[in-house]
């Protein structure tokens, strides 16, 4: 009986490792090596015109590394890449032709790609793209946020004083 319980405990102890795919380095390497994309955390960029801040743009940046080895190096250097990109978007406006409603996507891509290549090494990234770009003053988003806001709290009832009879 004790031997059966010991065998069951050993099987259960190794079950999470097998379920997670542990021990199969061949399949891990195949999926890891297939993509050279480095997805960065959300980047927040100020939209300014003539040194006046209008709003912020939130964007997710996807960098395409030249090879899997560069991708691995870049993943270790994500904080440095983000720092270089933040410095770049604060150095010069990202607005298109002085219009705070439009972002200069092509110019911003060139600037951010250059910043990433500076942080990791010249020629490390071949291209980049944006995903989930949001401007904070978008009327559609603001209307949706206002509609989703909870109603105001009702005022608490005033305590009634007991009358003396």
3-state secondary structure the chain: CHHHHHHHHHHHHHHHHHHCCCCCHHHHHHHHHHCCEEECCCEEEEEEECCEEEEEEEEEEEEEECCHHHHHHHHHCHHHHHHHHHHHHHHCCCEECCEEEEECHHHHHHHHHHHHHHHHCCCCEEEEEEEEEEECCCHHHHHHHHHHCCCCCCCCCCCCCCCCC
57 lies in some domain: yes
Min mean pLDDT across 6-10, 128-132, 146-150, 158-162 is at 6-10
7 in any annotated domain: no
Residue range(s) defining the domain that contains residue 83:
33-137
End-to-end CA distance of the chain: 79
More confident residue, 56 or 26: 56
What confidence category does residue 51 fall into, taking pLDDT thresholds of 50, 70 and 90? Answer: confident
**Distance from CA of residue 74 to its chain's centroid?**
15
Confirm whether 126 is domain-assigned.
yes
Give the torsion sign (CA, 30, 31, 37, 40): negative
Mean pLDDT, residues 78-103: 93
At 77, the pLDDT band (50, 70, 90 cuts) reads: very high
The total of structural domains in the chain comes to 1
**Is 25 a member of any domain?**
no
Residue 43 CB partners (closer than 8 Å, separation 6+)? 58, 59, 60, 61, 82, 85, 86, 89
* pLDDT for 131: 84
pLDDT at residue 132, rounded to an integer: 75
Beta carbons of 115 and 40 less than 8 angstroms apart: no
User: CATH number, domain at 38?
Assistant: 3.30.479
What pLDDT is attached to residue 137?
Answer: 63
**Contact yes or no for 125/63 (Cβ under 8 A):** yes
pLDDT of residue 22: 45
Mean pLDDT of 64-92: 95
pLDDT of 80 over the 90 cut: yes
User: Does residue 19 lie in a domain region?
Assistant: no
Select the more confidently predicted residue: 47 or 139: 47
Residue 8 lies in a domain: no
> What is the average pLDDT score of the chain?
77
């Amino acid at each position: 009986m004790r031997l059966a319980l010991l065998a069951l405990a050993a099987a259960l102890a190794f079950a999470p490792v097998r379920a997670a795919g542990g021990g199969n380095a061949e399949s891990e390497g195949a999926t890891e090596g297939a993509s050279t994309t480095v997805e960065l955390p959300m980047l927040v960029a100020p939209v300014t015109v003539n040194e006046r801040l209008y709003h912020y743009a939130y964007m997710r940046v996807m960098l395409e590394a030249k090879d899997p080895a560069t991708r691995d190096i870049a993943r270790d250097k994500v904080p440095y890449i983000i720092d270089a990109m933040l410095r770049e978007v604060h150095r010069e406006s990202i607005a298109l032709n002085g219009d705070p409603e439009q972002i200069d996507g092509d110019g911003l891509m060139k600037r951010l790609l250059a910043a990433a290549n500076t942080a990791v090494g010249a020629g490390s990234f071949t291209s980049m793209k944006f995903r989930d770009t949001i401007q904070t003053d978008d009327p559609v988003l603001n209307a949706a946020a206002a509609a989703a806001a909870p109603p105001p709290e009702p005022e608490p009832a005033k305590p009634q004083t007991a009358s003396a009879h």
